[in-house]
Amino acid sequence: MPQRAGFHINGQTIAAGTSRTVDLPVSSLSDHTPVTMSAHVIHGKVDGPTVFVSAGIHGDEVIGIEIVRRLLKSTGLRRLKGTLLVVPIVNSFGFINKSRYLPDRRDLNRSFPGSDTGSLAGRLAHLFLTEIVARADIGIDLHSAAIHRTNYPQVRVSAGDPRMRELADAFGAPIIMQSPIREGSLRWAAKELGTDVVLYEGGEGLRFDEVSARAGLAGILRVLRSLDMITARGVAAPKSPPQFCSSSKWLRAPMGGLFRSLRADGNLVRKDDVLGLVSDPFGENDTPVAAPFEGIIVGRAVMPVVNEGDAVFHLARIDSYKKANDLMDDHSAQLADDPMFDEDEII
């Protein structure tokens, strides 16, 4: 059998059956410290798809970086077919500053496709798109909520895209959310190139969340298995299919004050259930936040201080309370049963 050709990136060649971390030069800090975007390339001996996994497009979304760390330690990648491109931190500037944004306050996920002569955000977007995304058949992009909010593990897909729904089902997160693709986002730019991107959301900015980490890692391995890039050994199939939600709504604080959540993310609620209360500091008024329809809390605020109009609950609509309850119970039990750490991490 002829040897598979090497993978070329940034003037380097990764031979088949090997892996290497490649530093892609981005820019430099104001004190002339160089900044790079590091990509770990695993180039299998056998032909197969090319998939990228990215995290840290928003610099404060550290849960995706933890998922990538666990992924790279997975024994299932040892006999990988095809090529896996893993970028743990796309936005190094934001990560260093513990900020969602770049130093110029631009959102990288609204700056695609970018330009090699544009703003800092545009140059970084262009580099990531041309060096990583354009080389891949499929991508998995990892996100969390912003600081002071949290998201229950979910995958987001656009309407009328059966291929993306198939990948989302393979990922097996508890919830699939239907959401439009925003112009300027990575998903939008990748779609223009013909690369499908699975968008995973879970956890809170600048925080680790064990359930979200487990769901993200399991989902990536399931997608790789569905593409025949890894074997089924050690990859647990979801006990139940994901709960599909075709629409959602942000519920907002009816007044400013102190917010107390009475329900957690992932909870099922019925119409008119009280989800939380907003109170004035003197305790004279308690204003409830009620569910306008049956649904699942897929995101919520964790900051107790709110202004009138602040988003406090993200409620996704469901068709059947009983069916959703059964599905969510199965997913919760499976995530709870997964080991918290790999055996070789326990000292």
Which amino acid would we find at residue 324? A
On the question of a common fold for 7-238 and 247-335, the answer reads no
Of the pLDDT bands very low, low, confident and very high (cuts 50, 70, 90), residue 339 is low
* Measured distance CA(43)–CA(78) in Å, rounded: 10
pLDDT tens profile 77-118: 999 999 999 999 999 999 999 999 999 899 999 999 999 999
> Quick one: 105 exposed, middle or buried, by C-beta within 10 A (0-12, 13-18, 19+)?
exposed
**Confidence check: pLDDT of 254 > 80:** yes
Task: Assign 326 to helix, strand or coil.
Answer: helix
Give the other-Cβ count within 10 Å of 121's Cβ.
24
Q: Is the pTM of this model over 0.75?
A: yes
Q: What is the pLDDT of residue 344?
A: 45
Q: Which residue has the higher pLDDT, 42 or 27?
A: 42
DSSP state letter for 63: H
Length of the chain counted residue by residue: 347
3-class secondary structure per residue, 259-315: EEECCCCCCEECCCCEEEEEECCCCCCEEEEECCCCEEEEEEECCCEECCCCEEEEE
Closest CA to 214 of 113, 111, 306, 339: 339
Domain range summary for the chain, segments of one domain joined by +: 7-238, 247-335
SS3 letters across 201-240: EEEECCCCCHHHHHHHHHHHHHHHHHCCCCCCCCCCCCCC
* Residue 345 scores a pLDDT above 80: no
pLDDT digit string, tens, across residues 281-321 = 998 999 999 999 999 999 999 999 999 999 999 999 999 99
Q: Could you tell me if 211 and 218 are in contact, meaning their C-beta atoms sit under 8 angstroms apart?
A: no
Is the pLDDT confidence value at 120 over 50? yes
Architecture of the 7-238 domain = 3-Layer(aba) Sandwich (3.40)
Q: What is the pLDDT of residue 29?
A: 83
Neighbours of 119 (CB within 10 A): 14
Give the architecture (CATH level 2) of 247-335: Beta Barrel (2.40)
Question: Using CA atoms, how far apart are residues 89 and 58, in angstroms rounded to an integer?
Answer: 9
Per-residue pLDDT tens over the stretch 193-216: 999 999 999 999 999 999 999 999
What's at 335, amino acid-wise?
L
- d(C-alpha 73, C-alpha 70), whole Å: 5
